[in-house]
């Protein structure tokens, strides 16, 4: 125990300071822990306010600047031109006159992409709203230490989900760029994708400053891995080609590449090929289920946070934990849809070869589906099963006792 007057360290049972003789004030451990907890909450609220203001200012400035920047630079070495394109995919004035007026010539694909960019701008407004709400919360609400960890977890997840929604549209241009290079020899530098990725990295750095309890249970770690894998899977969808095709013999024709946005735009067209329509439905189902896994994972982690607080245990927390085990079922469905997608690619290959080669079996397109989504899905199944083992049995026992 330190003396308030001279600062000398004394024995814990001393009534008077051994150095200056001042009467020592005894502070109970309970009072000390409460005081430390209040200090921790105040520091946490102050940090959340700073992060909220930083994210708000960065997002507002970014929103004003991003509409003035070109979204892409296209270069064609064969036709010897270089061009910049604006947010409406129209050629800017400083571009070479030989360059095409529009970056995407397909009207349906262009409208599909423009719709995504419009949603991206709305998601920027969503980031602003979340940051404003976090500022108001940290200044006008005074939670206890246990509730603070729950709220911090929720805010962090909301920010990550919002960033995922924000990136989805700009990342689609990377998929289009790969198509353009393989099929037309046009090199597209997706400036808008790079810009939004840099912005997202900055925002996520501030999100990482949101303090969450480090001593988390194994179940919390597992469900967080499921959440992160599902988010990564969603972000990979618009980037990668879902299937490619090469002409046999190799010198007989150009290669084909189908990205997610191309499959969806062609599959939704009024002139859509039946097989392409089935592929589009497969993709939509995968995206929907992945978002369902993200939502269920958030609810499950909130339930685990409540369950870890002795004073906050409720029937709701056990229900959320049990409900989060549905992730295994959802992940198995995604694996199944991936296999259906592969079979539909084969059907599409048969159709293209029958129409395009007029029955010439010596000259065919050979299609190659992308297996990366399947790997992601299997990994989610594996992590979900591990989460089931660690939570399901214990949660059912607790639920039966409370009933």
73-119 residue pLDDT tens: 999 888 888 999 988 888 988 888 888 888 888 888 888 888 988 88
Task: Give pLDDT, residue 36.
Answer: 43
122 and 254 together in one domain: no
Task: Give pLDDT, residue 168.
Answer: 92
> Helices 218-236 and 372-402, interaxial angle, to 10°?
150
Task: Pick left, alpha or beta for residue 80 (phi over 0 → left; psi -120 to 50 → alpha; otherwise beta).
Answer: left
99 and 205 together in one domain: yes
How many Å apart are CA 63 and CA 122, to the nearest integer?
10
138 and 275 together in one domain: no
Tokens 């089935």 belong to which residue?
Answer: 278
How many Å apart are CA 380 and CA 137, to the nearest integer?
34
Q: pLDDT tens-digit profile of 142-200?
A: 655 567 777 888 888 999 999 999 999 999 999 889 888 888 888 899 999 999 999 99
Domain around 100:
1-214
Choice among 32-41, 121-130, 311-320 with the minimum mean pLDDT: 32-41
> Helices 145-184 and 274-308, interaxial angle, to 10°?
160
- The per-residue DSSP string of 285-333 comes to HHHHHHHHHHHHHHHHHHHHHHHHSGGG--HHHHHHHHHHTHHHHHHHH
Asked if residue 396 has pLDDT above 70, the reply is no
9 and 83 together in one domain: yes
Tokens 């709203």 belong to which residue?
Answer: 129
Asked if residue 39 has pLDDT above 50, the reply is no
> Span 394-399, mean pLDDT?
64
Q: Which of 17, 13, 8 is nearest to 26 (CA)?
A: 13
Quick one: which H or E segment has residue 366?
strand 364-369
Beta-carbon neighbour count of residue 343 at 10 Å? 12
Task: Give pLDDT, residue 35.
Answer: 45
210 and 333 together in one domain: no
Task: Please provide the distance, in angstroms rounded to a whole number, between the alpha carbons at the two ends of the chain.
Answer: 48
Residue % of the chain over a pLDDT of 90: 31
Across the chain, what does the average pLDDT equal? 82
- Burial zone of 220 (CB within 10 Å; 0-12 exposed, 13-18 middle, 19+ buried): buried
Asked if residue 362 has pLDDT above 70, the reply is no
Quick one: which H or E segment has residue 72?
strand 72-76
271 and 391 together in one domain: yes
> Span 381-391, mean pLDDT?
87
**Number of separate domains in the chain:** 2
Which residue among 183, 214, 245 closes a domain?
Answer: 214
143 and 220 together in one domain: no
Task: Give pLDDT, residue 220.
Answer: 83
Which residue among 190, 214, 238 closes a domain?
Answer: 214
Instruction: List Cβ neighbours of 171 (8 Å cut-off, separation of 6 or more).
Output: 193, 196, 235, 238, 239
Helix (H, G, I), strand (E, B) or coil at 190: coil
Q: Are 178 and 255 in contact (CB under 8 A)?
A: no
Q: Are 103 and 73 in contact (CB under 8 A)?
A: no
Tokens 């770690």 belong to which residue?
Answer: 221
Choice among 34-48, 82-96, 266-280 with the minimum mean pLDDT: 34-48
Q: pLDDT tens-digit profile of 301-356?
A: 888 887 776 555 567 777 777 788 899 999 999 999 999 999 999 988 888 887 76
190 and 275 together in one domain: no
Task: Give pLDDT, residue 321.
Answer: 77
Asked if residue 4 has pLDDT above 90, the reply is no
Which residue among 169, 195, 214 closes a domain?
Answer: 214
Task: Give pLDDT, residue 32.
Answer: 37
176 token code pair:
């289009």
Task: Give pLDDT, residue 165.
Answer: 92
Q: Are 181 and 244 in contact (CB under 8 A)?
A: no
243 and 155 together in one domain: no
Which letter does DSSP use for residue 27 in this model? Answer: -
Split at pLDDT 50, 70, 90, the class of 360 is low
158 and 230 together in one domain: no
Q: Cα–Cα distances in Å, from 209 out to 79, 155, 213, 396?
A: 49, 12, 12, 35
- Burial zone of 354 (CB within 10 Å; 0-12 exposed, 13-18 middle, 19+ buried): exposed
How many Å apart are CA 43 and CA 34, to the nearest integer?
14
> Span 197-206, mean pLDDT?
92
Task: Give pLDDT, residue 37.
Answer: 45
238 and 282 together in one domain: yes
How many Å apart are CA 385 and CA 392, to the nearest integer?
10
> Span 353-381, mean pLDDT?
80
Helix (H, G, I), strand (E, B) or coil at 257: strand
Asked if residue 28 has pLDDT above 50, the reply is no
Task: Give pLDDT, residue 270.
Answer: 75
402 token code pair:
């409370």
Task: Give pLDDT, residue 40.
Answer: 45
Q: Which stretches does DSSP call E strand in 110-232?
A: 187-189
103 and 12 together in one domain: yes
């Amino acid at each position: 125990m330190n003396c308030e007057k001279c600062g000398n360290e004394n024995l814990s049972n001393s009534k008077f300071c051994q150095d200056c003789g001042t009467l020592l004030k005894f502070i109970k451990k309970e009072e000390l822990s409460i005081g430390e907890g209040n200090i921790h909450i105040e520091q946490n609220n102050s940090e959340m306010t700073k992060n909220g203001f930083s994210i708000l200012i960065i997002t507002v400035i970014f929103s004003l600047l991003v509409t003035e920047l070109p979204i892409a630079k296209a270069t064609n070495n064969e036709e010897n031109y270089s061009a910049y394109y604006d947010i409406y995919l129209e050629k800017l004035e400083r571009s070479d006159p030989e360059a095409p007026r529009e970056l995407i010539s397909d009207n349906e694909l262009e409208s599909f992409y423009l719709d995504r960019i419009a949603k991206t701008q709305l998601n920027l407004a969503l980031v602003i709203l979340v940051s404003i709400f976090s500022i108001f919360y940290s200044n006008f609400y005074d939670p206890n230490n246990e509730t603070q960890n729950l709220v911090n977890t929720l805010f962090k997840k909301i920010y990550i989900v919002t960033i995922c929604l924000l990136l989805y549209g700009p990342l689609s241009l990377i998929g289009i760029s790969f198509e353009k290079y393989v099929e037309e020899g046009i090199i597209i530098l997706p400036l808008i994708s790079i810009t939004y990725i840099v912005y997202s990295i900055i925002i996520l750095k501030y999100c990482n400053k949101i303090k969450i309890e480090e001593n988390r249970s194994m179940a919390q770690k597992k469900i967080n891995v499921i959440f992160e894998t599902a988010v990564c899977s969603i972000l990979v969808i618009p980037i990668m080609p879902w299937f490619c095709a090469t002409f046999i013999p190799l010198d007989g024709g150009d290669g084909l590449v189908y990205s997610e946005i191309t499959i969806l735009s062609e599959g939704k067209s009024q002139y859509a090929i039946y097989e392409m329509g089935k592929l589009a439905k497969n993709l939509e189902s995968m995206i929907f289920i992945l978002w369902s896994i993200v939502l269920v994972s958030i609810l499950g982690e909130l339930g685990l946070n409540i369950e870890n607080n002795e004073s906050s245990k409720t029937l709701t927390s056990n229900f959320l934990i049990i409900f989060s085990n549905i992730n295994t079922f959802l992940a198995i469905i995604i694996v199944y849809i991936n296999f259906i997608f592969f079979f539909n690619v084969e059907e599409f290959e048969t159709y293209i070869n029958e129409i395009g080669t007029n029955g010439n079996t010596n000259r065919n397109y050979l299609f190659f589906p992308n297996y990366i989504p399947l790997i992601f899905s299997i990994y989610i199944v594996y992590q979900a099963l591990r989460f089931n083992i660690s939570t399901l049995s214990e949660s059912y026992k607790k639920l039966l006792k409370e009933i």
